């Protein structure tokens, strides 16, 4: 009986902690599979993606057209794994999941900065795409240089891949 | 009967679309209430916050100490409102929710770039705090200057508040 009560309490506290989200739209891109997709949209500037924001959220898009870049927060729905250690695309060295951008992470939250190209009604066209086709979108925030750019940044294990201003050897998912 | 079936189908498709997340830790800060909190952590550099990552995720922190800045993605658990139009802290003009950083947004996802100060076991100490005490943390990503800094950025309605390199009149929540 004591054990049962404990189990119920624990279940309750778990349920209380659970956070439920819903997509606000769907991201459409030319990338049907990870293979060949750039690891960051900046590395393949010509490609375009389309966001179909669900019509009930359309009024929230007012004034975003004034921004050149958007932050997209989305759900890595194709990842079925949750790892704590992983290999990034840039190298074969293992790192903690919170030191890399892998989709196979707790909560599977994805984050991209993209270039806004055009908006018509609830359809956003953007470039600098590193997102798979059919990805559920959770949020859009304006990219603000006064908030989101940092000087004196140390970028850990990633620095060596951009040494002397060079581009990394691997810029696409293999 | 037809209506009932339709209702069930609609419920199913809704459930299917629902995304369930769980906190990976709790963010502790000196800000018990929004009033007096900086609108961006950059505006109040001396203040420190602490992240207690739940012990089961501790191994995912490997190597994050190499990075000077972290991206925190968290849940605005204190907001009970979901608006599509809102006033930002910086001005009294209304904008679409996706053109501002307000917590009262669909899915209530928060995003901050903070400065990593120190890590010991599953406790992360950081500065540049703009997060309320007790906020559930959803993800940590390394801030990478080669991925996350952009040149030629147009920051919409926010530009005028930083004109000629000045700081905005309002840097704290009133």
* Structure confidence at residue B51 as a pLDDT band (50, 70, 90): very high
Closest by Cα among B142, B34, B151 to A128: B151
| Rounded distance between C-alpha atoms, residue A25 and residue A52, angstroms | 5
C-alpha to C-alpha distances, B123 to B29, B52, B56, B59, nearest whole angstrom: 13, 5, 13, 12
CATH match of B21-165 with 2.160.10.10: no
On average, the pLDDT of chain B sits at: 92
* A4-46 confidence digits (pLDDT tens): 777 666 655 655 579 999 999 999 999 999 999 998 888 888 8
Find the radius of gyration of the CA atoms of chain A.
19
| Rounded distance between C-alpha atoms, residue B141 and residue A158, angstroms | 13
At the top level of CATH, which class does the domain A21-145+153-165 belong to?
A: mainly beta
Listed by start position, the domains of chain B span 21-165
pLDDT, average across residues B98-117 = 97
**B96 in Cβ contact with B14 (< 8 Å):** no
pTM here is 0.90
| Rounded distance between C-alpha atoms, residue A134 and residue B18, angstroms | 15
Residue of A nearest to B64 (CA): A99
A157–B146 C-beta distance less than 8 A = no
Chain A residues in contact with B99 by the CB 8 A cut-off are 61-64, 66-67, 142
DSSP class of residue B78 equals T
Chain B residues in contact with A97 by the CB 8 A cut-off are 60
Cα dihedral: A10, A74, B42, B24 (round 10): 20
Contacts of A162 (CB under 8 A, 6+ apart): A155, A168, B146
* B81-93 confidence digits (pLDDT tens): 999 999 998 999 9
The lowest-confidence range among A45-49, A71-75, B7-11, B140-144 is B7-11
* A150-163 confidence digits (pLDDT tens): 888 999 999 999 98
The lowest-confidence range among A3-7, A70-74, A95-99 is A3-7
Residue of B170 and A14 predicted with greater confidence: B170
Place of tokens 């909190």: B37
Chain B residues in contact with A98 by the CB 8 A cut-off are 57, 60-61, 64, 70, 139-142
Residue of B126 and B11 predicted with greater confidence: B126
pLDDT, average across residues B30-57 = 93
Residue B5: the pLDDT is 75
- CA distance to partner chain A, nearest, from residue B141 (Å): 5
Find the radius of gyration of the CA atoms of chain B.
19
| Rounded distance between C-alpha atoms, residue A74 and residue A161, angstroms | 26
| Rounded distance between C-alpha atoms, residue B65 and residue B54, angstroms | 17
* Angle, alpha carbons B164-B166-B169 (nearest 5°): 135
Interface confidence, given as ipTM, is: 0.90
């Amino acid at each position: 009986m004591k054990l049962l009560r404990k189990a119920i309490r624990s279940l309750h506290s778990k349920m209380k902690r659970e956070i439920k989200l819903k997509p606000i739209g769907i991201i459409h891109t030319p990338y049907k599979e990870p293979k060949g997709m750039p690891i960051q949209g900046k590395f393949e500037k010509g490609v375009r993606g389309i966001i179909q924001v669900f019509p009930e959220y359309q009024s929230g898009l007012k004034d975003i057209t004034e921004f050149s870049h958007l932050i997209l927060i989305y759900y890595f729905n194709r990842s079925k794994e949750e790892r704590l250690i992983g290999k990034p695309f840039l190298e074969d060295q293992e790192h903690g999941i919170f030191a890399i951008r892998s989709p196979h992470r707790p909560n599977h939250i994805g984050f991209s900065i993209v270039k806004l190209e055009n908006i018509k009604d609830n359809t956003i066209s953007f470039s600098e795409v590193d997102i798979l086709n059919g990805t559920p979108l959770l949020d859009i925030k304006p990219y603000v240089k006064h908030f989101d750019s940092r000087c004196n940044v140390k970028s850990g294990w990633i620095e060596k891949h951009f040494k002397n201003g060079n581009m990394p050897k691997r810029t696409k998912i293999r």
